[in-house]
A and B are shown apart, each in its own frame.
Chain A
Amino acid sequence: MKTQSFRLENVGLINRNKKLSFKFNGKFYYGYEGDTLASALIANGVHLVGRSFKYHRPRGFFGAGVDEPYAIVQLYRNGETEPNIKATEQELFEGLEATSVNCWPSVNFDIGAINNFLKIFLPAGFYYKTFMWPKSFWFKVYEPFIRKAAGLGVASIKHDKERYEHKYEYCDLLIAGSGPSGLASAYAAAKNGAKVILAEDKSRFGGTLLTSEVNIGNKSGKDWAEGIINELREMPNVTVKNRSQVFGYYDHNMLVMSERISDHLPETKKFHPKQRLWYIRAKEVLISSGSIERPIVFGNNDTPGVMLSSAAKEYLKVYGVLVGRNPLIFTNNDSGYETAIEFKKNGVEPIILDTRKNPQSEIVDEAKNLGINIKFSHVVVAAQGYKKVKSADIASISDDKEQLGNIKNIKCDCICVSGFWTPTIHLASQSGNKTKFNEDIDAFVPGTSKQNEKTLGAANGVYTLDETLKSSFNTGYELSKQITNNDNKVSFPNVVEKKSSVHDKFWCVPLPKGKNYKRFLDFQNDVAVSDIEIALKEGYRSIEHVKRYTTLGMATDQGKTSNLNGLQLVSKIENKVVPNVGHTTFRPPYTPVSIGAIVGREIGKHSKPTRKSPMHLWHEKNNAVFVDAGVWLRPRYYKRGNENLFEGSKREAKNVRKNVGVCDVTTLGKIDIKGPDAAELLNRVYTNSWLKLPVGKARYGVMLREDGIVMDDGTTTRISENHYHMTTTTAQAANVLSHLEYYLQLVWPELNVNVVSTTEQWAGAAIAGPKSRDLLQKLFPNSDLSNEGLPFMGYTEGDLFGVKARIFRISFSGELAYEVNVESDNGNFMWEKVMEVGQEFKIQPYGTEALSTLRIEMGHVAGSELDGRTIPYDNSLEGLLSKKKDFIGKRSLSRKAFMAEDRQKVVGVVPLDKKTSIPEGSHLVKDSNAPLPNPKLGYISASCWSVEHDNPFSLAILKDGKKMIGEKLFVMSPLKNKIIPVEIVSSHYVDPKGERVRS
């Protein structure tokens, strides 16, 4: 087989000096640099690229760009695979591999095509009707079947090794589309000093100027475009981007653009991303997105070889490729003639079928003069051929477009359709612009601007070049003048173009008598005229409902070629005018955007910040096993030998109870509070009383939300007269600071207080255990750390081998304990000194798991009890509620439910066998055999292995918990399939009188 037999010589913008080889469905082909996968396949005579979604009918190429509904392939590039790639957008590179999707076993023999012959059973709403019953069939039969049948390709399950970036940008004017209006407005604005971004989704700039026979300023359209682009590229105030699709228009003139940086290369260059997502905040947006040719609906209009006439022209003029040697042009306007003339000029004899009776225009005359065979008042009734068009049934049509004449069959190998143009209004509509219907072009155009956006040229329904350029030059100039206050106006070039005559408002060929051809509206989702008719018969009226019921316009192409014809049909059947039917909502993205681009760099460990304490390296070196605590990494336990978590944490906790342990508590939230009214602020924020706390003393406090729920707890220390140091839990640190700022700025601005986070300024070590005082005294030989010198809840400052330290006598573990804080830079020094000096006291570091064990068996509530659902009483914190003063949330505590006698309360839970560990989250019930739903009395909030008693112990929030002590209940965990008989005990399982902390 001769390669590239449909390639013309000397035509096109491809680089013939660079031949590229590629593989499609396992076969090798050649193309040229500058081809798309589509143009290269057509050059090789390949027109069968896939199977349709529902009926598995053969699929070829319909367009030449972003509007393509058919040619979706699975791409293989550099060891990766990607689904949902449009062959019309994918640029060819050496070694490219692609395969068809939605067919099995092959595109030539597809078993699913049996659906095509069963189509009578697959009408509109077929999924809703068929798969509803029997109910049990959904999971076992229907769902797996649909999963296999549905989808356009397979997503890779491998880690994507490519890099994607995000970029934030500001500009005066963002211009979407580099056709005539985009170039003209960009040029005028840039010359007037505005900061401009010009985005083009294709690789080549110029839009329709690349394919139309026009003359601007004595240059061909293509050369003029090239000149303008080259000039813009050199200007420092202009960013020109090809392969970049502005796909979304969001609030306040924020637009998002995806730039495909490496998709056209065999592999991504070193240090380059594959794609980049731009978030652009533009002062003004000019939408110059052009328009997409509209198909005419006729029988079997989805057969490969039926395509848009503008696409045929683009394949010819840009890629030097013939879509057929025997083309039939089916048109209702002058655009089809341009394609026919290009064929004729390249030695191919086209036949034009024009639905119009007697159109008069320059271009029609030109076609006549060239001797092209034109049949007026003629239509294509149906395409014939299965995997490729072989012939067409054509007929004359009456002036009222209702009656077909005698049907004739003529040979052809492609049918190029032009049903006029549909402006691409997606971005304008996304901006909130209420579109309006333009009768002259049978299409919607943008209405009044909602944000700072204007739509120019074909996207605004303007189809003459002269008018497009004039308005675009003007708009670019006027907008830039408003922004820059400059007044440099560029001169307007002379434009030569052919005048067109009006189009025929004809869009659907009637069915001939006795024939039941499928006439497709939506080519990607296989929605035919008959499906819409059924939906309307069944009572669907709103276009939004018709859309969802039939899936019209819901495919990945979002109905770029199908929406308007669908509306025409609904309006015809419903006897309404199109504007009254209205169109469905346009939503971003305009084209599919890869998940990688949306996620950007925020993957894996970059998906959130990782905060490490200054002692992190020490922990790492000493075999710490880390755990995520919010954004922090904390040692969970320090592994010794083959120890597991249970054994390691038990050893560490035991050592705290017996000797002394040290725990990194840097992650605790710390807030510095200063000012003459600091005590008053604390008094209002905490539930207990704060006005009489002396300097050098710490106090435990609980703060509530206004609805009475516990927000956080912690200790606050009075450092000096007007200076307090507040600690919060790790998780609530940021929220508590915002909470304080809220009250200081909005509710009580009269309080003279400043708050600032100092979490990261201080490194903290909790030193706990009966030997902690002996250790501390050795660390701070000059400080009096006796029980009298530094009593429980006392505070002092000390000298740690030359480093200034804050010493708090506070305890979370329930043991005699201290917390030492030093400036973060000295954190590691402090830690190493503690470990060094602690040797003789058998010190061991302990992690969060041992920390939890120690607090649970002491009955100290923490995050798992203060879970945003509990009030102070539930946590046995009611003793901290001041009766003398008001505080945030106090009024809520007098609500009826919060005062209930049998209110839930924290209790301890011990398994009767003293062996079985109790899963956290389990429910407590009275009778494990009670019928479902078994009434739930409470839930397990935290579990540990009590090192003091050497048996499992849990905390629970239990209804009427106060009276339940001593009761025998059952813990049920259906998740772990466990039923455990338990006894309810006091939550204070160790040292209930709290003597150790004061010892």
Chain B
Amino acid sequence: MLYIKCPHCGWRSQNEFSYGGDATVKRPELGKEVTDQEWDNFVYNRKSLKGKHWELWQHLSGCRQWIKVERDTATHEIFNTLKASEEIS
């Protein structure tokens, strides 16, 4: 079971969180014209990386905040966690 440092609450076990997918995907702005390709990239196309991956988790049974977690998808090592408002550098 992963041990995740919630930027708001501190170290918590994985069973308090739910997974939310790739954190680097940006939703196209509302009302902006986008091509089918751009839209598909937003909705469907994911890289499914092996290695370091920024992803979203929600601290569902805690502060309910969505957070960004940098995790190695092969080893589960977690390198960094950020608040929703913090930019991935």
A residues apposed to B, CB below 8 Å: 250-254, 279, 281, 432, 684, 706-707, 738, 741-742, 745-747, 749, 885-887, 891-892, 895
Q: Is the beta-carbon distance between B60 and A747 smaller than 8 angstroms?
A: no
Q: Is the beta-carbon distance between B30 and A886 smaller than 8 angstroms?
A: yes
**What is the CB-to-nearest-CB distance from B21 to chain A, in angstroms, rounded to a whole number?**
10
**What is the CB-to-nearest-CB distance from A510 to chain B, in angstroms, rounded to a whole number?**
44
Residues of B within 8 A of A279 (CB): 1
Contact for A886 among B31, B44, B58, CB less than 8 A = B31
Contact for B43 among A252, A254, A892, CB less than 8 A = A892
Q: Is B42 an interface residue (CB 8 A)?
A: yes
Closest 7 CB pairs of A and B: A252-B3, A745-B84, A886-B30, A886-B31, A251-B76, A745-B66, A254-B1
Q: Is B62 an interface residue (CB 8 A)?
A: no
User: 21 pairs across A/B with beta carbons < 8 Å?
Assistant: A251-B3, A252-B1, A252-B2, A254-B1, A254-B13, A279-B1, A281-B3, A432-B75, A707-B43, A738-B60, A741-B64, A741-B65, A742-B66, A745-B85, A746-B66, A747-B27, A885-B31, A886-B31, A891-B28, A891-B39, A895-B36
Contact for A706 among B3, B43, B60, CB less than 8 A = B43
Measured CB to CB, the nearest residue on chain A to B20 is: A742
Q: Is the beta-carbon distance between B1 and A746 smaller than 8 angstroms?
A: no
| Given A254-B3, A885-B31, A892-B43, 15 further pairs, Cβ under 8 A | A251-B2, A251-B3, A252-B1, A252-B2, A279-B1, A281-B13, A707-B43, A738-B58, A742-B20, A745-B84, A746-B66, A746-B84, A886-B30, A887-B30, A891-B34
Interface size on B, residues (CB 8 A): 27
Q: Is B56 an interface residue (CB 8 A)?
A: yes
Q: Is B18 an interface residue (CB 8 A)?
A: yes
Question: What is the bound-complex CA distance between A711 and B2, given in angstroms?
Answer: 30
Q: Is the beta-carbon distance between B65 and A745 smaller than 8 angstroms?
A: yes
**Contact flags B24-62 to A (C-beta < 8 A → 1, else 0):** 000110110010100100111000000000001010100
Residues of A within 8 A of B84 (CB): 745-746, 749
Question: What is the bound-complex CA distance between A885 and B3, given in angstroms?
Answer: 42
Residues of B within 8 A of A251 (CB): 1-3, 76
Residues of A within 8 A of B2 (CB): 251-252
Residues of A within 8 A of B43 (CB): 706-707, 892
Measured CB to CB, the nearest residue on chain B to A734 is: B60
Residues of A within 8 A of B28 (CB): 891
**What is the CB-to-nearest-CB distance from A902 to chain B, in angstroms, rounded to a whole number?**
21
The number of residue pairs between A and B whose CB atoms lie closer than 8 Å in the complex comes to: 54
Question: What is the bound-complex CA distance between A800 and B75, given in angstroms?
Answer: 60
Residues of A within 8 A of B39 (CB): 891-892
Residues of B within 8 A of A749 (CB): 84-85
Residues of A within 8 A of B30 (CB): 684, 886-887
- Given A741-B66, A886-B31, decide whether A746 and B56 contact each other with a Cβ distance below 8 A: yes
Question: What is the bound-complex CA distance between A306 and B74, given in angstroms?
Answer: 44
Measured CB to CB, the nearest residue on chain A to B42 is: A706
- Given A281-B13, A684-B30, decide whether A250 and B1 contact each other with a Cβ distance below 8 A: yes
Measured CB to CB, the nearest residue on chain A to B84 is: A745
Question: What is the bound-complex CA distance between A738 and B20, given in angstroms?
Answer: 10
B residues apposed to A, CB below 8 Å: 1-3, 13, 18, 20, 27-28, 30-31, 34, 36, 39, 42-44, 56, 58, 60, 64-66, 75-76, 78, 84-85
Residues of A within 8 A of B1 (CB): 250-252, 254, 279
Residues of B within 8 A of A746 (CB): 56, 66, 84
Question: What is the bound-complex CA distance between A684 and B44, given in angstroms?
Answer: 21
Residues of A within 8 A of B36 (CB): 895
Question: What is the bound-complex CA distance between A738 and B64, given in angstroms?
Answer: 8
**What is the CB-to-nearest-CB distance from B60 to chain A, in angstroms, rounded to a whole number?**
7
Question: What is the bound-complex CA distance between A706 and B60, given in angstroms?
Answer: 21
**What is the CB-to-nearest-CB distance from A703 to chain B, in angstroms, rounded to a whole number?**
15
Residues of A within 8 A of B18 (CB): 738
* Highest count of chain A CB atoms <10 Å: which of B2, B31, B43, B44: B43
Measured CB to CB, the nearest residue on chain B to A749 is: B85
- Given A252-B2, A252-B76, A253-B3, decide whether A741 and B58 contact each other with a Cβ distance below 8 A: yes
Residues of B within 8 A of A886 (CB): 30-31
**What is the CB-to-nearest-CB distance from A252 to chain B, in angstroms, rounded to a whole number?**
4
Residues of A within 8 A of B3 (CB): 251-254, 281
Question: What is the bound-complex CA distance between A738 and B18, given in angstroms?
Answer: 10
Measured CB to CB, the nearest residue on chain B to A252 is: B3
Measured CB to CB, the nearest residue on chain A to B3 is: A252
Measured CB to CB, the nearest residue on chain A to B34 is: A891
Question: What is the bound-complex CA distance between A252 and B36, given in angstroms?
Answer: 41
Residues of B within 8 A of A745 (CB): 65-66, 84-85
Residues of A within 8 A of B27 (CB): 706, 747
Question: What is the bound-complex CA distance between A432 and B84, given in angstroms?
Answer: 31
Question: What is the bound-complex CA distance between A594 and B4, given in angstroms?
Answer: 29
Residues of A within 8 A of B60 (CB): 738
Measured CB to CB, the nearest residue on chain B to A757 is: B64
Question: What is the bound-complex CA distance between A515 and B64, given in angstroms?
Answer: 72
Measured CB to CB, the nearest residue on chain B to A684 is: B30
Measured CB to CB, the nearest residue on chain A to B29 is: A886
Measured CB to CB, the nearest residue on chain B to A891 is: B39
Measured CB to CB, the nearest residue on chain B to A250 is: B1
Question: What is the bound-complex CA distance between A250 and B85, given in angstroms?
Answer: 31
Question: What is the bound-complex CA distance between A741 and B65, given in angstroms?
Answer: 8
**What is the CB-to-nearest-CB distance from A554 to chain B, in angstroms, rounded to a whole number?**
26
Question: What is the bound-complex CA distance between A895 and B66, given in angstroms?
Answer: 30
Measured CB to CB, the nearest residue on chain A to B44 is: A707
Question: What is the bound-complex CA distance between A253 and B76, given in angstroms?
Answer: 12
Question: What is the bound-complex CA distance between A746 and B3, given in angstroms?
Answer: 23
Residues of B within 8 A of A707 (CB): 43-44
Measured CB to CB, the nearest residue on chain B to A889 is: B43
**What is the CB-to-nearest-CB distance from A483 to chain B, in angstroms, rounded to a whole number?**
15
**What is the CB-to-nearest-CB distance from B83 to chain A, in angstroms, rounded to a whole number?**
9
Residues of B within 8 A of A892 (CB): 39, 43
Question: What is the bound-complex CA distance between A900 and B1, given in angstroms?
Answer: 46
**What is the CB-to-nearest-CB distance from A967 to chain B, in angstroms, rounded to a whole number?**
34
Measured CB to CB, the nearest residue on chain A to B1 is: A254
Question: What is the bound-complex CA distance between A220 and B1, given in angstroms?
Answer: 42
Question: What is the bound-complex CA distance between A254 and B15, given in angstroms?
Answer: 13
Residues of B within 8 A of A738 (CB): 18, 58, 60
Residues of B within 8 A of A741 (CB): 58, 64-66
Question: What is the bound-complex CA distance between A895 and B1, given in angstroms?
Answer: 40
Residues of B within 8 A of A432 (CB): 75
Question: What is the bound-complex CA distance between A738 and B58, given in angstroms?
Answer: 8
Residues of A within 8 A of B75 (CB): 432
Question: What is the bound-complex CA distance between A746 and B85, given in angstroms?
Answer: 7
Question: What is the bound-complex CA distance between A706 and B30, given in angstroms?
Answer: 12
Question: What is the bound-complex CA distance between A891 and B42, given in angstroms?
Answer: 11
Question: What is the bound-complex CA distance between A749 and B27, given in angstroms?
Answer: 13
**What is the CB-to-nearest-CB distance from A744 to chain B, in angstroms, rounded to a whole number?**
9
Residues of B within 8 A of A891 (CB): 28, 34, 39
Residues of B within 8 A of A887 (CB): 30
Measured CB to CB, the nearest residue on chain A to B60 is: A738
Question: What is the bound-complex CA distance between A281 and B5, given in angstroms?
Answer: 14
Question: What is the bound-complex CA distance between A706 and B41, given in angstroms?
Answer: 12
**What is the CB-to-nearest-CB distance from A283 to chain B, in angstroms, rounded to a whole number?**
11
Residues of A within 8 A of B44 (CB): 707
Measured CB to CB, the nearest residue on chain A to B31 is: A886
Question: What is the bound-complex CA distance between A576 and B3, given in angstroms?
Answer: 41
**What is the CB-to-nearest-CB distance from B30 to chain A, in angstroms, rounded to a whole number?**
4
Question: What is the bound-complex CA distance between A279 and B44, given in angstroms?
Answer: 37
Residues of A within 8 A of B20 (CB): 742
Residues of A within 8 A of B76 (CB): 251-252
Question: What is the bound-complex CA distance between A323 and B45, given in angstroms?
Answer: 66
**What is the CB-to-nearest-CB distance from A394 to chain B, in angstroms, rounded to a whole number?**
51
Residues of A within 8 A of B31 (CB): 885-886
Measured CB to CB, the nearest residue on chain A to B67 is: A745
Residues of A within 8 A of B42 (CB): 706
Question: What is the bound-complex CA distance between A747 and B84, given in angstroms?
Answer: 9
Residues of B within 8 A of A281 (CB): 3, 13
Question: What is the bound-complex CA distance between A398 and B78, given in angstroms?
Answer: 57
Residues of B within 8 A of A684 (CB): 30
Question: What is the bound-complex CA distance between A887 and B28, given in angstroms?
Answer: 12
